[in-house]
Amino acid sequence: MGKFIMPSLGSQMIEVFEDEIITELVANEGEVIPVGSVMAIINGEGETENAKVKLSEAPKDKMKETRGDKKQKVITKESVTPHKEAVPLHRVKASPLARRVAEDLNVDLSKVNGSGAGGTIHRNDVETFAQQQTSNEPFDKEVEMAEHLSKAEGKSMRQSIAAAMSRSNKEIPHYYLETDIDMKAALEWLSAENENRSVNERLLTSMLLIKAVANALTKVPELNGFWTDEAMHIEEGIHIGFAISLRQGGLVIPAILNADLKSLDEVRSDFIDMVTRTREGHLRSREISSATITVTSLGERGAQKVYGVIYPPQVALIGFGKITDRAQAIDGSIGIRPTLSVVLAGDHRATDEHTGSQFLEKLNYQLQHPQDL
């Protein structure tokens, strides 16, 4: 009595939970049987002799009245749910990158089907699984946000933002570092790249900046994470939050997840999708709560410099100003170059100016070698 595990049928282990007695095993161990075939007969209340049924007389229904009004269950392959044995993570065949992405996205690798040789799991398999799981999530948060944005006035939105920023100013000891980056190489590469693309596939400067920030953070990860419980917690996943202004007023900061692992085209696709769904009010909770650092850019209509306020519990914010033509010393002479002012706001509890300077140096390198992005 108790739990009964039927011997392997084909490649499946079928688990049955019954506090009754097996009176007959119809299928043999190792035998492959069609769906709907009788596997075993379980008799209720301990009647063994009276419950034996010949295979030719086995009832097709799951329940059948037998002698003495005793109920008899016939177990078929379709009447039970296959039980998938959990596979230890160290035995799952997956690439190192797939394991890292799975950890960042909180995906159980034992549930992912691998597309590689011998069932090896690759990064795309993990991301596809995560997207499917996300698409099946309830949209309570999304609906709530859409309703809020449709009803809220700009004043109430700005009041919420003001409250958050007030808390930031009170709790976070900010430091600011500023640098000017020559954007000639980046803009020329961007222009040449877009010549080979359709209008709908062109890259924007903001996409280039997001990718450059993500790559720079792999070299200086101390700025990527959260200040909680009076300590800095560096996050492995680099999730770049970027500020999007709403038509009715206010800002929302969704995140491009694992931006360092994505190509520029993947960043571009996520960026466009995120902007569209943000302004429609269709964001999921993970997308608005996972940012490990924030980027804000005022674009061509903005100010030359942006001194941002860190969004707690993050420990850094990067402000990009307007690209303007400015005089620079170039090989011993003065030249006019498109120049971008970058201001890093850092949390002095988590990092210092030395770390911030290292990050700005790596960011500059990324933008001077855009072909490597």
Within the chain, all domains assigned CATH 4.10.320.10 are found at 89-135
Asked if 85 contacts 65 with a C-beta cutoff of 8 angstroms, the reply is no
**DSSP symbol at 229:** T
Asked if 56 contacts 72 with a C-beta cutoff of 8 angstroms, the reply is no
Asked if 13 contacts 83 with a C-beta cutoff of 8 angstroms, the reply is yes
Asked if 373 contacts 208 with a C-beta cutoff of 8 angstroms, the reply is yes
Within the chain, all domains assigned CATH 3.30.559.10 are found at 150-372
In CATH, what number does 89-135 get? 4.10.320.10
What is the CATH superfamily name and number for domain 150-372?
A: Chloramphenicol acetyltransferase-like domain (3.30.559.10)
Whole-angstrom distance, CA of residue 223 vs CA of residue 202? 30
- Each of the 373 residues of the chain gets a pLDDT tens digit; together they read 443 444 433 444 454 544 556 777 777 776 766 655 677 776 654 444 444 444 444 444 444 444 444 444 444 444 443 444 455 555 788 887 788 778 767 788 888 988 888 888 987 888 788 767 655 544 344 334 444 444 444 455 556 666 767 777 788 999 999 999 999 999 999 999 999 999 889 999 999 999 999 999 999 999 999 998 889 999 999 999 998 877 666 678 889 999 999 999 999 999 999 888 887 777 777 777 789 999 998 766 678 899 989 988 999 999 999 999 998 888 888 889 999 999 999 999 999 999 999 999 999 999 999 999 8
* pLDDT the model gives residue 160: 60
* pLDDT the model gives residue 24: 75
Whole-angstrom distance, CA of residue 301 vs CA of residue 151? 28
